[in-house]
Structure 1
Amino acid sequence: MEFSTKSASPEKQKTACLVIGIFAGKAPGAIATRLIEASAGLLGKILDRGDLEAKAGSTLLLASLPGVAAERVLLVSYGKPEEFNDAAFRSAATAAGKVLAGLKASDAFVTLADVELAGRDAAWLASQTTQILADSAYKYEATLSKKSEEKRGVAKVTLGFASRPDASIEAAAIQGQAIASGLALARELGNLPANICTPSYLADTAKKLAKEFKSLKVEVFDEAGIAKLGMGAFQAVAQGSREPARFIVLQYNGAKSKKDKPVVLVGKGLTFDSGGISLKPGAGMDEMKFDMCGSASVLGTLRAVAELALPINVVGLIPSTENMPGGSAVKPGDVVTSLSGQTIEIINTDAEGRLILSDALTYAERFAPECVIDIATLTGACVVALGNFTSGVLGNDDALARELVDAGTTAGDRAWQLPLFDEYQDLIKSNFADMVNSCGRPAGTITAACFLSRFTKAYKWAHLDIAGTAWKSGNEKGATGRPVALLTRFLIQRAGV
């Protein structure tokens, strides 16, 4: 989807679809009022009889509205003026995106961002609009035998404003489009089945990114390389699978100096998680292909960062493997030695994500990082605590955690900080090793983070548990791409652009 910005009279735009936002009530908004006048009151009559529902995100598609040059006019409700907030705006943009994605039309003139929203400027509105519209156009077809033959969905979108958009608005629209590109990559990787999206496939994807963007440099360690590094915890998880493990190091050097300390992103890359010997229940196990969404978000974020050419250094680390049962699989009660030299008693082989992350977090030390953020579909306990709307944040630096929470709020990809008090550390004690990898259900998200914290003492660190937000189940089953938007916004702010 191609985006541009323009100042123009909406009623005069010759476009396949004109999109305008409408406030419920007697004051529909400035742009809507112009169209009411242009249509000699016809649009006003349509609104008065209640054809457009008042709820934010409701839509009504009109064809050949008199006095308006556009072939179609899509009315989108902002809801009641007194209830207009970030969520209402996103609902309107999402609804518009879904309609535009299904239209047999080539272009659209969208005025949704030309509205006043408390606490938000035009740049934020433009960024959110482009991101949401482009993300709405994503469609999974990779493994379908018959692809869609009929072309639907607009290819060109012009963001319309009453006054001439300044450089900040244009830059924000570009940011939104880049974030959507990252989301599309993360969603596609997450949606691919585990027999296609293997550790090697993730490594190949990283290589393709490095080929596309010269600012990226990639190094991939095979199983022999992983063993040579001394990643005993990572190896323990990988040893039960016939699919070769990979450790992917993707570096982006965008800062003026290569000596600038990088932000390191560590993504859990379990391309399929059976639970190992601690086998998961069969119901819903197909969704364990999504257990690599942390790694997908790292690749998606680095794509967005490279596309934007942000002046910052970023490193992506992805330990990737399957977790399978078998004669060579790690067993409950086994003790392994991590890259850090610390020993781990594996109580539950289904608590494998923290094992592969532990070695990657230790590896991160060699970059002398500004900070390290790991992203993982780590615990079902996080779903219990925060549901499917909010990612969990924990870490050893409260300022970093708050920075991530704030970035998520700005991006519409929200997260919430959970405590990591010292008292919880006692719960992962072991009689046979330095720690256990699992200690039961109580405070499961926190104790998992306690485990990871044992490997992050050399730097500022935050952990994003995305178990509840990385994908959707049911009729809308599929990867969401989260938290690409949060991470990219965090890096944009860190880069100061």
Structure 2
Amino acid sequence: MEFLVKSGSPEKRRTPALVVGVFANRSLSESAALLDQACGGMITSVLRRGDMEGETGQVLWLYDLPNISADRVLLIGCGKAEALNEATFARILAAMTRALQQSGAAEAVSYLCELAVKQYDMQWKLQQSVLVIEDTLYRFDQFKQKKEDTKRPLKRVIFGLPTRNNLPQGEQAVREASAMATGMRLTKDLGNLPGNICTPSYLAEQAQQLARTYTDLAVSVLEEAELEALGMQALLAVTKGTEQPAKFIIVEYRKGEAKDKPVVLVGKGVTFDSGGISLKPGEAMDEMKYDMCGAASVLGTLLACAELMLPINLIGVIPAVENMPSGKATRPGDIVTTLSGQSVEILNTDAEGRLILCDALTYVERFEPEVVIDIATLTGACIIALGHQGCALFSNQAALAQDLCEAGQQMYDRAWEMPLWEEYQEQLKSNFADMANIGGRPAGSITAACFLARFTKKYAWAHLDIAGVAWKSGKEKGATGRPVPLLLRYLLNRLHSRAHG
């Protein structure tokens, strides 16, 4: 999909399809009013007949309007103007995209970015437009014999801006969002792949393929023998029950100053999680192919940075494993020694994500990072706490937590900070090792983060538990591509802050 920004009056725009908004009670948006004036009130006349009330998501096509250069005009219902928020704006954009895709128009010009969304500027609306359009059009059908092909698909969307002065910022906003959408598409594709295809080895191959496509990326992969020599017994405990070998993937993107310490992203890469000996219930176990969405989001973010050629130093680290039961699998009660030297009593083999992450979080000390952020579908308890609206955020540095929350809010990819109070550490006590890998049912997502915190004392660290936002279930089942928007916006904000700091 190609996205452009142009200025100019809507009635003069030559295009197969022109999109404007209509509010509740048939009130016209600014551009709709200009069109109505140009065509002698025909839009108002049509609306008076009751064909459209302007309820959110309603659509109405108008053809061959006099004195209008566009072939057809799409009216989109926007609901009450004073109630227009982030969620409503996304619904409007999705309705527009579906109507355009079915129309046969290869190009469209949208004036929906003129709508006033509380607390958000034109750049935000442009970026959300790109992301929602791409998300609405996304299909994962590579295994289907009959694909949902559109004979004349939408190929180009032009966003109409008020004046030429808006174009430079608009172009930058669209460029960033397009890179973000490309990263999200990779994240979704990897997440949606089944576990028999997307194995740890496949993830490693995809990282290597990225490095072949983007020469600014360098990839190295550590094999199990190397992990054994390093002393990553916690990670290797998870992979004992499977025939799929573990892979420890390191992707380096170094386009910042040599003296600049890197930001490190650590992504949980459990390509399928049966729970191991602590076997999960059979219902919805197929969705455990999504347990590598943290890893996928790291690759998606790196891709977006490479697309934008951002002048930063960024390292992605992905411990990739499969968690399966077998005669060789780790048992509840087994004790392992982590790369940090601390011992862990594994009381539940289904709490495996923290075992691979703790060794990865120790490993990244060698990069002398400025910031480390781990991203993981870590706990079901996170979904109980926050549902599917936002991810849980934990951090050992208040400023880092604030920056991530702000980035999430900016991209409508929200995070909510949770506590890491010392009292929660009591739940991880073990009679036989330095710690247990679970802390019981109370505060499950918090005690998981507290476990990770024990391995992050040498740097600024944040943990994003994305179990509630990485994929959708039900009829819309599929990976979401989150939290790539949050992560990329955080990195862009860092660059902006440095440039103006």
The TM-score range, normalised by the shorter chain, is over 0.9
Flag structure 1 segments of 5+ consecutive residues without an equivalent: none
Cα gap change, 1:149/1:467 in structure 2, threshold over 3 Å: closer, same or farther?
Answer: closer
Per-residue Cα deviation, 1:170-216 (whole angstroms, up to 9, x for no partner): 10111111111111110111111111111111111111111111111
Is the 1:248–1:318 contact (alpha carbons within 8 Å) kept by the matching residues of 2? Answer: yes
- Whole-Å Cα distance in 2 between the matches of residues 224 and 266 of structure 1? 21
Q: What is the match of residue 372 of structure 1?
A: 372
Which has the larger displacement, 71-80 or 333-342? 71-80
Output aligned runs, 1:136-147, within 5 Å: 136-147=136-147
Q: What is the match of residue 332 of structure 1?
A: 332
Is the 1:137–1:153 contact (alpha carbons within 8 Å) kept by the matching residues of 2? Answer: no
Q: Which amino acid aligns with 2:458?
A: A
Q: Which amino acid aligns with 1:428?
A: L
Q: What is the match of residue 191 of structure 2?
A: 190
- Whole-Å Cα distance in 2 between the matches of residues 99 and 202 of structure 1? 36
Is the 2:26–2:52 contact (alpha carbons within 8 Å) kept by the matching residues of 1? Answer: no
Secondary structure of the 2:114 match is coil
Per-residue Cα deviation, 1:6-32 (whole angstroms, up to 9, x for no partner): 112222222222111222246422101
Q: What is the match of residue 307 of structure 2?
A: 307
Q: How far apart are 1:49 and its partner, in Å?
A: 4.1
- Whole-Å Cα distance in 2 between the matches of residues 11 and 446 of structure 1? 56
Per-residue Cα deviation, 1:259-308 (whole angstroms, up to 9, x for no partner): 21111111110100000000001111011101111111111111111111
- Whole-Å Cα distance in 1 between the matches of residues 445 and 65 of structure 2? 54
Secondary structure of the 1:79 match is coil
- Whole-Å Cα distance in 2 between the matches of residues 316 and 15 of structure 1? 43
Q: What is the match of residue 131 of structure 2?
A: 131
Q: What is the match of residue 462 of structure 2?
A: 462
- Whole-Å Cα distance in 1 between the matches of residues 295 and 49 of structure 2? 50
Per-residue Cα deviation, 1:55-94 (whole angstroms, up to 9, x for no partner): 4333333343444332332222232121123332222223
Q: CA RMSD in A?
A: 1.6
Q: Which amino acid aligns with 2:456?
A: T
Cα gap change, 1:354/1:55 in structure 2, threshold over 3 Å: closer, same or farther?
Answer: farther
Output aligned runs, 1:348-427, within 5 Å: 348-427=348-427
Is the 2:397–2:461 contact (alpha carbons within 8 Å) kept by the matching residues of 1? Answer: yes
Flag structure 2 segments of 5+ consecutive residues without an equivalent: none
Runs of 4+ in structure 1 over 4 Å off: none
Which has the larger displacement, 118-127 or 28-37? 118-127
Aligned length in residues: 496
- Whole-Å Cα distance in 1 between the matches of residues 284 and 152 of structure 2? 32
Q: What is the match of residue 431 of structure 1?
A: 431
- Whole-Å Cα distance in 2 between the matches of residues 50 and 316 of structure 1? 55
Q: How far apart are 1:476 and its partner, in Å?
A: 0.4
Cα gap change, 1:400/1:196 in structure 2, threshold over 3 Å: closer, same or farther?
Answer: same
Q: How far apart are 1:373 and its partner, in Å?
A: 0.7
Which has the larger displacement, 314-323 or 122-131? 122-131
Is the 1:262–1:312 contact (alpha carbons within 8 Å) kept by the matching residues of 2? Answer: yes
Is the 1:132–1:180 contact (alpha carbons within 8 Å) kept by the matching residues of 2? Answer: no
Matched, 1:166 2:183: no
Q: Which amino acid aligns with 1:246?
A: K
Q: How far apart are 1:95 and its partner, in Å?
A: 2.3
- Whole-Å Cα distance in 1 between the matches of residues 148 and 327 of structure 2? 44
Q: What is the match of residue 316 of structure 2?
A: 316
Secondary structure of the 1:439 match is coil
Is the 2:47–2:53 contact (alpha carbons within 8 Å) kept by the matching residues of 1? Answer: no
Matched, 1:93 2:93: yes
Output aligned runs, 1:209-358, within 5 Å: 209-255=210-256, 257-358=257-358
Q: Which amino acid aligns with 1:211?
A: R
Is the 1:61–1:73 contact (alpha carbons within 8 Å) kept by the matching residues of 2? Answer: yes
Percent of aligned pairs with the same amino acid: 54
Secondary structure of the 1:20 match is strand
Which has the larger displacement, 67-76 or 174-183? 67-76
Q: What is the match of residue 113 of structure 1?
A: 113
Is the 2:161–2:167 contact (alpha carbons within 8 Å) kept by the matching residues of 1? Answer: no
Is the 1:142–1:192 contact (alpha carbons within 8 Å) kept by the matching residues of 2? Answer: no
Q: Which amino acid aligns with 1:6?
A: K
Q: Which amino acid aligns with 2:378?
A: L
Secondary structure of the 2:277 match is coil
Is the 1:246–1:320 contact (alpha carbons within 8 Å) kept by the matching residues of 2? Answer: yes
Q: What is the match of residue 153 of structure 2?
A: 153
Secondary structure of the 2:314 match is strand
Cα gap change, 1:227/1:169 in structure 2, threshold over 3 Å: closer, same or farther?
Answer: same
Cα gap change, 1:16/1:333 in structure 2, threshold over 3 Å: closer, same or farther?
Answer: same
